[in-house]
Amino acid sequence: MLTERIPAPDRALDMGCGTGLSTKPLTSFARVVVGVDVSEEMLTARAGHVDAHFVRARAERLPFREDAFDLATAASAIRWFGSETIGEIGRVLKPKAWLVVYDVRFRSEMVGEEAFAQWMKEECGPRYRPVPKNEFTSASVASIGFVPTWEADLRFDVPLTQRSLVAYLMTHSERIAAIREARETEAQQEAYLTEALRPFFPDASRASLASVFRSRSSRGKAASESKTARPFRARIGAMRTSRTSLSVADDARDGVRRVLEDAH
């Protein structure tokens, strides 16, 4: 999808990269790729070889100089970033750079089973209150001098067993919050979901859930067009890279070093 719409960037930044699954595809697209995540555990758990550089840092205070990247990507993690993040994205991206935000949305639909959507809305929904999230809007993009360019939705169906659907639903923020706030235990939640979902899985069958891969792209205006001031530079001394952030490609070290060391 990106290669059809965006020129190959020199440097790409993957924000909220986690274990690097979202970072890896960028390595065939950009010359230098940097993944950023606040969790050292996630960075340490990277699976397999990813030809990119990884830095432990908060999205709200990126340890990079201004105009360091030609492309920034963010998946579902952007919902949990603080309000300062949008300004930081604008600061580290070059004029006319690209910003791509994407997400996989669970539509609360089961293929061929309308009763599942009704259960999600009328029973499961009220039981688990939504957790407040930061919304990424056209207004927030405009505040850093970017304009929307395209939006695309790709629908796909995911076959799941009853057990795997229970496990998946338990990863959602509203159910995690119910356990964290001691409204129910993990065992109680698993038992409730298992029993409630039983009618949708007769004879240990599989069901297909409808999901949507949603992506949105914005492009920065030229420096002379943007009305957004760039108020400060991040200080590299205020944000350390973890030991898991070592380069995995010697020939790309100079590129990421320039990105990191020029901050003031």
249 lies in a domain?
Answer: yes
116 lies in a domain?
Answer: no
86 lies in a domain?
Answer: yes
Max avg pLDDT among 72-86, 126-140, 163-177, 239-253: 163-177
Exposed/middle/buried for residue 243 (C-beta within 10 Å: 0-12, 13-18, 19+): exposed
Task: Flag whether the pTM goes above 0.75.
Answer: no
180 lies in a domain?
Answer: no
Please write the tens of the pLDDT for every residue from 49-105.
788 999 999 999 999 999 999 999 988 777 788 888 888 999 999 988 988 888 766
Residue with tokens 């360019």: 149
CATH assignment at residue 47: 3.40.50.150
Q: Phi and psi of 259, rounded to 5°? A: -65, -40
130 lies in a domain?
Answer: no
183 lies in a domain?
Answer: no
223 lies in a domain?
Answer: yes
Average pLDDT of the residues in 177-188:
96
- Residues spanned by the domain of 241: 2-104+135-154+214-261
Report the alpha-carbon distance of residue 93 to residue 141 in Å, rounded.
13
Q: Are the C-beta atoms of 16 and 73 separated by less than 8 Å?
A: no
Average pLDDT of the residues in 228-242:
30
Report the alpha-carbon distance of residue 174 to residue 108 in Å, rounded.
14
**11: Cα within 13 Å, side-chain hemisphere:** 22
Tally of structural domains, the chain:
1
197 lies in a domain?
Answer: no
